Amino acid sequence: MAESTSAPGRDLPGRDAPALPTFAVRALAFARACFDGPVNGAITLGCLALLWWLVPPFWDWAVTRATWNGNANACREAGGACWAFIREKFWFSIFGLYPYEQRWRPATMMTILVIMVVASTQRRFWGRGLLVAWAVAAPAMLVLMGGGVFGLDPVQTRLWGGLTITGVIAVYGLALGYPLAILLALGRRSDLTLVRWFCTAVIECVRGVPLISLLFMAAIMLPLFLPEGVTLDRLARVLVAYTLFTAAYMAEVIRGGLQAMPRGQYEAADALGLSYWKKMRLVILPQALTITIPSQVNTFIGLFKDTTLVVVIGVFDFFTTLRAALGDPNWLGFATEAYVFAAGVYFLLCFAMSQYSQRLERSLRPGAR
Amino acid sequence: MSLSVLRGPARGYLIQAALLVALVATGMWLWSNAEANMAARGLRFGFGFLDRSAGIPIGESLIPYTPADTYRQALTVGLLNTLRVAIIGCILATVLGVVLGLARLSTNPMLRSLTGGYIEVIRNTPLVLQLVFWHAVMLQMPSVRQALNPLPGVFLSQRGLKIPALMADPALYAFLAALAAGAIGWWVLLRRERARQVETGERRPTILPGLAMLLGFPALSIAAGFVPRVEWPEMAGFNFEGGLALSPEFFALLVGLVVYTAAFVAEIVRSGIQSVHRGQWEAARALGLPGGRIMRLVILPQALRVIIPPMTSQYLNLTKNSSLAVVIGYPDLVSVANTSINQTGQAIEVITIFMTIYLAMSLVTSALMNWYNARVALMER
């Protein structure tokens, strides 16, 4: 095989440019690495056998014999995946039981949410303006969903559902939990013994127990601790638990950033005579938060996946709504399709976030700027 | 009040005093609310209900249990079920995770990308979804009569997994004791030979005498008539008899937890091994060490330092994630506790109990792993 590499800086006369396009060269290199030696060859064949066992049947089910239009009977006749079922239930999985004629409200809310999230991923928007925008958008979105003012019909939170509520829990949990996380992280590194103990206890207690138990606690135990006559909406209780959970996990990530700051940064700020809060706000936190952004995104991916746990106290998030759709007597027996679709949606969202975090990690590395 | 009080060392004490007062006041307020609320529902705070009969039917239990037993007993059953799935899960997830982590570093690009695909798919989908999926897979298994029989004595059906069991009788204990004696003998031999090598520089093979002990002692026990008896599952009427049964819920939970956690373990192992500098590999090769020994003597001791701390949190995560059992109906601690709360209304007590248990498990696991980590970290110069 012709070698396509050449020594740098030396002209090799009489040799043609590689006739093969780059991807073919890569494919050849791939194939060569796959069959280099008997052991590697055997491993490759094993992998191919596994793929052969998994992929064609799946393809046959998901594409060849799939039904994209029609009803349940058409699906059962074709015998493959029933994507018509997903088409039928798609908007239900996004909006849940939200009143049909009011669906423009969660739709608008989701649009604002997507715009805000996309804007927040762009480094050139990072700054005070973005914080202000979130501070305006977050209550606005809640008002839009809940109604009761500005002539919007009130819609009870028990009717909220689907991907909308997954987004609400994840984003509001983060928005409320993040400031708390910063305080907890600072508190855990405080010189004041009592403050340090308190923050450590909160962080460790929350991280030491499963999220489910926090959700149970918020759903069952919290109402007992409120004054008589005061009730808290179920979604609000979920948010309390989820916010606490987010705060504890984010606090540990941020603490990592605080500990990674060289002592010189603290000492320099002290030498300038800055007060504790000014030192933190102007010198330490901006750096500590920035270097931990990739870990923050990774933690958030975990927290986002954990929104599915609200099923245990009967809140209809995206996955639970899809499972509820399985009970439709006209469409019985299409559980696999629902699971594959839900897995696909979660995968796309989480994979996008993790790719984003890896890109950030590269661009935030010192010297990469 | 002059603002000068808010500076200097007095400030710290002031803040702490304020925090203390706020905590105590909030605590008292919450407590008085709770007492009023419980009184309004005809409840009184106390753990007396633990001795009342629970009446909770629990499908599987490691200890004898009937619904007539007390809440204390029911919660113990739940705790043992949690521990069972957590301990077996941690072991299996470690094994699978290490294998996948090494596969991720293979020179074979096909294996590497397949493993990469597995890790990405598993890590980027919620565990609840995966558990529900595995449970659905278990429910779609063939009926008992058409049970899959991949290995002799292993049956997979809607009723779960059936595997051969060792019968718990004196012969088994004698056999296990002999096996343990062999293992300890090998370990003592290794230690003695290592000390000898440090002293004299001479290396003597330890594998053959070690193996002889490990296999010889049990062989002696068999020769002496202590033969462990295996109980094979057999079809009898509409179900299997004998052998060890794993319920579909337990099996689905175990598979889900292992498959999920292994993907994270694999990434930890991969990054741990990659964290060892290239020069270490090259130096070890330059010394003429064979591949296996490079890994065991040079790379692993250094990689473990990076691997152990995140592994601790994976074990803790697996234990905490086992509480998702409630979604597929495996009677773990949280699931039993939840039923107890619904029946008794003693929410504060029951939630306090299981939160304390989880915290204790977290602390014990952390302590064990920190101890191991300290041992591994000693290899640092």
How would you write the pLDDT of chain A (369 residues) with one tens digit per residue?
344 444 444 555 556 555 667 778 888 887 777 777 777 788 888 888 888 888 888 887 777 777 777 777 777 777 777 777 777 777 777 777 777 777 777 778 888 888 888 877 777 777 777 788 788 877 777 777 776 677 677 777 777 778 888 888 888 888 889 889 999 988 888 888 888 888 888 888 888 888 888 888 888 888 878 777 777 788 888 888 999 999 999 998 888 888 888 888 888 888 888 888 888 888 888 888 888 887 888 888 888 988 888 888 888 888 888 888 777 777 777 778 888 888 899 999 889 888 888 888 777 766 544
Chain B partners within 8 Å of A228 (Cβ): 33, 36-37, 40
- Contact A347/B358, CB-based, under 8 Å? no
Q: Do residues A180 and A59 both lie within one domain?
A: no
pLDDT of residue B71: 84
Chain B partners within 8 Å of A305 (Cβ): 124-127
- Contact A323/B132, CB-based, under 8 Å? yes
Helix (H) or strand (E) holding B155: strand B154-157
Q: Do residues A36 and A168 both lie within one domain?
A: no
The string of DSSP codes covering B205-264 is --HHHHHHHHHHHHHHHHHTT-PPPEEPPEEETTEEESSEEE-HHHHHHHHHHHHHHHHH
CA distances from B4 to A27, B7, B18, B19, B230 (A): 74, 5, 17, 20, 81
Residue A300: give its domain's CATH number: 1.10.3720.10
Q: Do residues A180 and A290 both lie within one domain?
A: yes
**B234-287: pLDDT as tens digits:** 776 666 666 677 888 888 999 999 999 999 999 999 888 888 888 888 999 999
Q: Do residues A161 and A60 both lie within one domain?
A: no
Instruction: Evaluate whether residue A127 is within a structural domain.
Output: no
CA distance A161 to chain B (A): 17
CATH architecture of the domain with range B71-167+229-377: Orthogonal Bundle (1.10)
What would the two tokens of residue A259 be? 């500990």
Q: Do residues A159 and A57 both lie within one domain?
A: no
pLDDT of residue A3: 43
What would the two tokens of residue A367 be? 């010297």
CA distance A77 to chain B (A): 20
- Alpha carbon distance B37, B31 (integer Å): 10
Domain boundaries, chain B: 3-45, 71-167+229-377, 168-227
- Contact A308/B33, CB-based, under 8 Å? no
CB B318 within 8 A of CB A210: no
Residue among A175, A110, A106 nearest A145 (CA): A106
Structural domain harbouring A30 = 22-64
Find where tokens 């504790």 sit.
A276
CA distances from B167 to B88, B171, B244 (A): 20, 9, 10
- Alpha carbon distance B148, B138 (integer Å): 12
Q: Do residues A198 and A243 both lie within one domain?
A: yes
What count of CB pairs under 8 Å joins A to B? 145
**B221-248: pLDDT as tens digits:** 878 777 777 777 777 666 666 667 788 8
Q: Do residues A163 and A285 both lie within one domain?
A: yes
Candidate from B30, B40, B320 with C-beta closest to A210: B320
Instruction: Evaluate whether residue A164 is within a structural domain.
Output: yes
Residue type, A195: V
Q: Do residues A233 and A275 both lie within one domain?
A: yes
Task: Tell whether the model's pLDDT for residue B318 goes beyond 60.
Answer: yes
Contacts of B96 (CB under 8 A, 6+ apart): B258, B259, B262, B265, B266
Instruction: Evaluate whether residue A219 is within a structural domain.
Output: yes
Residue among A97, A270, A311 nearest B129 (CA): A311
Residue among A243, A198, A186 nearest B24 (CA): A198
Chain A contact for B146 (CB, 8 A cutoff): no
Tally of structural domains, chain A = 2
CA distance B267 to chain A (A): 13
Chain A contact for B125 (CB, 8 A cutoff): yes
CA distance B299 to chain A (A): 23
Q: Do residues A162 and A299 both lie within one domain?
A: yes
Strand pairing class (B148-151; B160-163): unpaired
Terminal Cα distance for chain B, rounded: 56
Residue among A226, A250, A228 nearest A237 (CA): A226
Instruction: Evaluate whether residue A297 is within a structural domain.
Output: yes
- What does the pLDDT average to over B330-359? 85
Alpha helical stretches, state H, chain A: 22-34, 38-59, 72-78, 83-95, 104-121, 128-146, 162-188, 193-208, 211-216, 222-225, 234-260, 263-271, 276-278, 285-291, 293-306, 318-325, 335-364
Instruction: Evaluate whether residue A143 is within a structural domain.
Output: no
Candidate from B33, B129, B354 with C-beta closest to A319: B129
Rounded to 5 degrees, φ, ψ at B133 are -60, -50
Rounded to 5 degrees, φ, ψ at B165 are -120, 150
Instruction: Evaluate whether residue A4 is within a structural domain.
Output: no
